[in-house]
Chains A and B, each alone.
Chain A
């Protein structure tokens, strides 16, 4: 693999790692909030 391809690979991995981390972080926050809401407001209507 040439040096140029290494730079391409690192660029793509970096981009998908950052956006993956942001997406997973949002999903974890959503799940935690949903669980807490279910405890605090069991009759609440939420998605």
Chain B
């Protein structure tokens, strides 16, 4: 434990102050949930690299800083500053500034019937029973200090409820903005807590999008509980594109019912130290889970992906595909753990991690971990580490394509494997654009024409055009 008493003191002060006016402070169950979580956090402190789950990721930079919660009144972000961060066909956009919901920046323009979207804080005040039914029921505060810390400060974030059988066309966009308006004070932290409940046979896409508006240091520790009822189809996107000073720890805990089909797409492009935990539990027969991700780091970025896939019921399938692109001194981690419980017969679990290292100093640690307690299962895993294919590069150049553009084409093709696993639509188009911009910045300085070959055209099917 590297957390000193002084640092805990700082969290204690924040916690004490927070619980005085947090949403639902008078609700016994919620107070208990927060108190127990905070006690747990104090007990274990921040993890160290001696902890097996954190072997490759050193969070001492987070542990040794004193972060504080943002005051709702100190944040002033204008709509104009958020221009360009919208998904065209989104049915609503909820904006959170340093963890606090902003009604003025958000829009609920066209919510179809059967869909409830709210800030979690407002939902707690309005209908605490709907929140109590799920909040904290799935996320395990015992196994992870950051989850405990998040739960201690749980109070605001996105609340999405989709009623039985409702099919939602456009994505629901949750935009989390980090900004450090008062730079002379200690840096800000936020602990967004999202609750996504998709009732049986419903269908919905939710995009969590994390951005910075300036270059200030911030610590965003977010957690999402996603409950997919029997036969529900849910697509979840986690987009991390904060500044290169930002610490971002996220945990997605998915609970899947019988025959539910959930896709988790993580795209990590920004941040200094990023930890992306994805933890699905296939709790009903015949569930399907796709865990898809792309992490692209440059400079000194550290991008850690920790997958924990639990098969708890028979006849479920899970597929993990993570592609990493690492440039400069970037460090990537892929930890893919699959647990097949005793009764989860006929499990079909697959895991693939592919990595491209673009420089001698880039690094990837990839670690599969299978724990199988059933006897009739199929589990496969594989990892590859490679460089840009020089033969392919020459082939492209020999046809007249400039070197930087050729490199970009090859990177885009590699990243495109992740895009191809996303359902075509507004969310995917949005992600495609972000990836394209990010890869262009990787190759900046090596010629103007690098940006001319757009990833968006990559899949252009000429028969469709003609």
A interacts with B = no
Could you tell me which B residues sit within 8 Å of A by CB distance? none
